[in-house]
Amino acid sequence: MRSPKDLLPPALRDAVRRHPAWRRYVSRREAETLAFSAKRLDICAAQMAHLLHASGHPGLQGRECLEIGSGRVLGYAVVCHLLGAKRVIATDLAPLAVPSALRTALHASTAYVVRDVLSPFEEHARIRQRLDRLLAVRDWSFGALRDVGIDYRAPLDLTAGPLGLEVDFAYSFSVLEHVPVRDVPAVLRHVARALRAGGAMAHAIHLEDHRDTARDPFAFLGADAWSEAEESERGNRLRRSRWQALFSDLDALDTRFVYEWSRPDAPLPPRIAGAVAYRDEPDLRVSHLGAYSVRRPVRASG
């Protein structure tokens, strides 16, 4: 059975899709879907806890944090607040955030899971107190976010130049692999420069083809032509060795991979595209990386 939208003439259907009201509707719908699934607060809390545990980061109490690519549901920024962050600057290349979806992300979660997985990094009672306050918020808006110390900034182009701010901790989850290859060095450099001495940044990077991560995670490695649109949608195809080189190029930062997972079971294309730089087959098969970088303290002169 055809849906009502399929009955519209193609030109009218395209005009509807371009209309701002339709785009807002689609954005809200996608945000609600994410809030019930991948961006539920208990899932975001578990991912943040894993990254902090793997890196050995001491916690976020009283710290200023920077999120790169916060997306439609600001779950990770809320997790930073639960961990006692003084301020969270959530950024994105486009203004995608739908604050109202946070109510769903909070209430669809299991509260004790949120509290328990975060308790190694903050006092359990304080997490409970903050979470209870968040659950009581009825109308999530950008103003409500500011009230809990979350500052949303979008559009913000991290390739354009220095951010003009200093933070103690910067992070991203499955974002850097969507940055076009030519822009990755500038993004890393500008985020790194925003770190105070002794500050750190942590990035969870997903190296698989996002079109079909379950059955064909390396299909994109065989494509000779790979546009920036495809880099943004399916992944920029940078392999582990290239990420290592990019992080090594950052001045005054020490970087290590705190976790590294591979897919030895998955098929590789019969031919790897010439544009894909790699060392060997194990390099191609890395599927996930956790990168943790610390800015070296400034040495006192004399």
**What string of pLDDT tens digits covers the 302 residues of the chain?**
455 556 556 665 555 455 456 466 578 899 999 999 999 999 999 999 999 999 999 899 999 999 999 999 999 999 999 999 999 999 999 999 999 999 999 999 999 999 999 999 999 999 999 999 999 999 999 999 999 999 999 999 999 999 999 999 999 999 999 999 999 999 999 999 999 999 999 999 999 999 999 999 999 999 999 999 999 999 999 999 999 999 999 999 999 999 999 999 999 999 999 999 999 999 999 999 999 999 988 765 55
> Would you say residue 302 lies in a domain?
no
pLDDT at 26: 75
> Would you say residue 117 lies in a domain?
yes
> Would you say residue 30 lies in a domain?
yes
Q: Which residues contact 172 (CB under 8 A, 6 or more apart)?
A: 67, 68, 69, 203, 204
Which pTM was predicted? 0.90
> Would you say residue 200 lies in a domain?
yes
What is the torsion angle, in degrees rounded to the nearest 10, for the CA atoms of residue 289, residue 266, residue 36 and residue 177? 40
> Would you say residue 5 lies in a domain?
no
pLDDT at 297: 82
Nearest to 227 by CA among 279, 280, 273: 273
Containing structural domain, residue 202: 11-295
> Residue 181 sits in a domain of what CATH number?
3.40.50.150
Residue 272 carries which side chain, given as an amino acid letter?
I
> Would you say residue 4 lies in a domain?
no
pLDDT at 79: 98
Nearest to 288 by CA among 212, 211, 206: 206
pLDDT at 15: 53
Nearest to 76 by CA among 5, 4, 175: 175
Handedness of CA 23, 178, 64, 119 (dihedral sign): positive
Q: How far apart are alpha carbons 126 and 36 in whole angstroms?
A: 25
DSSP string, the chain: ---GGGGS-HHHHHHHHHSHHHHHHHHHHHHHHHHHTTT-HHHHHHHHHHHHHHHT----TT-EEEEE---SS-HHHHHHHHTT-SEEEEE-SS----TTHHHHHHHTS-HHHHHHHHGGGS-HHHHHHHHHHHHT--S--HHHHHHTTEEEE-S--TTSS--S--EEEEEEES-GGGS-GGGHHHHHHHHHHTEEEEEEEEEEEE-S-TT-TTT-TTGGGG-S---HHHHHHH-----HHHHHHHHHTSTTEEEEEEEEEE-TTSPPPSS--TT---SSHHHHHEEEEEEEEEEPPPPPP-
Q: How far apart are alpha carbons 105 and 175 in whole angstroms?
A: 20
Q: How far apart are alpha carbons 102 and 73 in whole angstroms?
A: 6
Q: Which residues contact 262 (CB under 8 A, 6 or more apart)?
A: 282, 285, 286, 287
Number of structural domains found in the chain = 1
